[in-house]
Amino acid sequence: MKKIKFILLLFCFNLCISQSEVQTLNLYDAALELTNQKVTYDPSYFSIDYPNGDVPSDKGVCTDVIIRAYRKLGIDLQKEVHEDMKANFNVYPKIWGLKTTDKNIDHRRVPNLMVYFKRQGAEKPITKNANDYKPGDVVCWNLRGATTHIGIVVNKKSKDGKRNLIVHNIGAGQVIEDCLFNFKIIGHYQTNSI
């Protein structure tokens, strides 16, 4: 009987530790971890598993940073975006001429993530005040024309200490940079609670 009680106590202790570890990991920590992995910028279309599908681990674009960071928190944006798009296809952009959802790519498109985050109630005001962009926030930019970009605000500061840095992939892999105001911000989301 004592052995069974000990095993149950050990199991409960391990469960408590596991739950507290999950609770302490946040989106910006997950994003920072990604900067340790070498990734080549590759915007190719990939046929991937569903759910929890991913492009090859050594490839990716800006949206893959977001997707992979959320995966570290146990959230599958591929599934979440796909299900929301299936149920609400009419509210998502029609930029690509699609007539239906595509579970391989829909979650890898910045405009779709913007709609999804807004629909989850995560939208925050766009400002020119660096203090408004907190670690864990997701920021979207317009680079030029119809080219959009996305990244995660982290808890590391610029050299002058005025801005939080961004983890993103704009062509050089998953990197951390001081680029918050380098482009026109078109979306700002507090997404840690999604």
For Cα atoms 164, 183, 76, give the angle at the middle one, nearest 5 degrees: 65
Burial 50-59 (b: 16+ CB within 10 A, else e): eeebbbeeeb
Structure tokens at 60: 């990716």
Residue 139 banded pLDDT, cuts 50, 70, 90:
very high
In sequence order, what are the beta bridge partners of 151?
139
CA torsion angle for 22, 76, 39, 23 (degrees, to 10)? Answer: -10
Is residue 105 pLDDT above 70, yes or no? yes
Residue boundaries of the structural domains of the chain = 23-190
CATH of 23-190, one of 3.30.1490, 2.40.50, 3.90.1720, 3.40.720: 3.90.1720
Give me the residue label for tokens 């530790």. 17
Instruction: Indicate the SS3 state at residue 66.
Output: helix
User: Quick count: other Cβ atoms within 10 Å of Cβ 21?
Assistant: 9
Distance CA 31, CA 143 (A): 21
Residue 175 tokens read as 């990197």
Residue 2 confidence (pLDDT) above 80 = no
pLDDT in tens, 144-188: 988 999 999 999 999 999 999 999 999 999 999 999 999 999 999
Q: Which one has a higher pLDDT value, 15 or 26? A: 26
pLDDT for residue 193:
60
Instruction: Identify the residue whose tokens are 């400002």.
Output: 127
pLDDT at 7 over 60: no
Q: Kind and range of the H or E element at 120? A: none
Secondary structure element (H or E) that encloses residue 186, with its range: strand 184-190
Can you give the pLDDT at residue 25? 81
pLDDT, tens digit (0-9, with 9 covering 90-100), for 68-95 = 999 999 999 999 999 999 999 999 999 9
Q: Which of 146, 139, 32 is nearest to 96 (CA)?
A: 146
Percent of the chain whose predicted confidence (pLDDT) is above 70: 86
Question: Got the DSSP string for 163-179?
Answer: SEEEEE-SSSSSEEES-
Q: Is the pLDDT of residue 126 over 60?
A: yes
What 3-state DSSP class applies to 28? helix
Average pLDDT, the chain: 90
Q: Round to whole Å and give the CA distance between 114 and 118.
A: 6
